[in-house]
Amino acid sequence: MSSAIFGKVVQLEAALLLLFVASVPAQDADIVRTCTAYKRSVWEETSEFSFLIEDAPIIYKTLDKCTSYAPLIIGGGPALPKEFPHAVRLGHQDNNGEVDWFCGGTLISDRHVLTAAHCHYSPQGSVNIARLGDLEFDTSSDDADPEDFVVKNFTPHPGYSYPAIYNDISVVRLSRPVTFNEYKHPACLPFDDGRAVSSFIAIGWGQLEIVPRTENKKLQKVKLYNYGTRCRMTAEKNEELPEGYNATTQLCIGSNDHKDTCNGDSGGPVLIYHKKHPCMYHVMGITSIGVACDTPDIPAMYTRVHFYLDWIKQQLARN
C-alpha cells in the first residue's frame, strides 16, 4: 500500500517537473549567438605573438574588456558616458534641416532600430532621422560620439492600428550600417519573456516632470518594477486600450515613488542586464503608453518584446 502511494507521488512529481520545464520558454539559439557576437566585436581584442625561435607557433591571446560602466541603479538620474550605447533618438528633419526629436529607440543590429509603432503618427512628421552615440544634446563637451543616420524605411507591426496601442512595435531601417564601438552597439534581444523579472531600467530623453513641463537634453535612467498584471485594474478601457491591458503582449511596469517614463520617452527601451556579460543589456520592453505620468503606484504599459521575436527576426532578415 505504502509503496503504491510512493510510486504515485513520484509520478506526480515527475509530471509537475515536466509541466514546469514546458512552461519555461526556451532561449532562441540564434539570438544567443548574435548577442555574444556583438559583445565580442566590441569588447574583445585578440593579439598574436610567438617566441623568437624559427618555426615557433603563433599564440593568440584575447583580452576581454566587457565590464559594467555603472553599479546597479537604485533610483534615477543622468546616464553615464557609454553606459547605454544602444540608445537611439528618433525624429523628423524638415527641408530646412531643422530636426524635431520626439521618440526613442534601441539599436538591435547594424542597420535596425526597435521603437514604438505610434511614433510614426507624430504630429511633427514621420520618423526620418536617427541619432546614435549621444548623451547630452546641444553640447560637444560631454564624453559622447553622436552620429546622425537617415532612415531608409520603417515597418510597424501589421497588427498595430492607430490609435489603439496594441502591437505597439516597429522596426526602423537605417540607410547605412552602424560601425560598432564603445559608444554605439546593439542591445541583445530577450532570452525570455520577462515575467519573472523583478525590476527593469528605463532610459530616455523625455520630460523630467509633467508639471511644470521640463525639457530634458541629457539621457536619463530610472529603475522601475514589474507590477505583473496590476494594469488590468489601473488601466481603464479607452480608444487607446479598447480591450484593456493585455498581459501577453504588454509589460506592466512602474514605481511606488515619483519615478516613471514620460512624454518624449516613447519608443525607448526598458532593459535588464545580461547575466554573463556586464557590458551588455537585453531590451525587454518598449515604452508605449502611460496611465498617469509620474504618479506613484500607477504603472505604465510597455510592449513585451519577447512576444514579437519571430516577427522581429523576419524584419532583420529583410534586405
> Does 168 participate in catalysis according to the annotation?
yes
> Given the C-alpha cell 525570455, which residue does it identify?
192
Distance CA(178)–CA(38), nearest Å, equals: 12
The catalytically annotated residue of 86, 118, 120, 306 is 118
Closest CA to 229 of 257, 256, 200, 195: 195
C-alpha cell at 97: 534641416
> Does 143 participate in catalysis according to the annotation?
no
Q: 245, 229 in Cβ contact below 8 A? A: yes
Count of alpha carbons within 13 Å of 135, Cβ hemisphere only? Answer: 18
The catalytically annotated residue of 168, 260, 265, 294 is 168
Distance set, CA 284 to CA 13, 142, 209, 227, 269 (Å):
32, 28, 24, 14, 7
> Does 266 participate in catalysis according to the annotation?
yes
Element (H, E) at 184: none
* CB burial readout 81-116, b (16+ within 10 A) else e: bbbbbbbbbbbbbeeeeebebbbbbbbbbbbbbbbb
Element (H, E) at 6: helix 2-23
**Distance from chain centroid for Cα 173:** 16
> Given the C-alpha cell 542586464, which residue does it identify?
273
Q: 306, 192 in Cβ contact below 8 A? A: yes
The catalytically annotated residue of 109, 170, 266, 288 is 266
Distance CA(122)–CA(103), nearest Å, equals: 9
Catalytic positions: 118, 168, 266
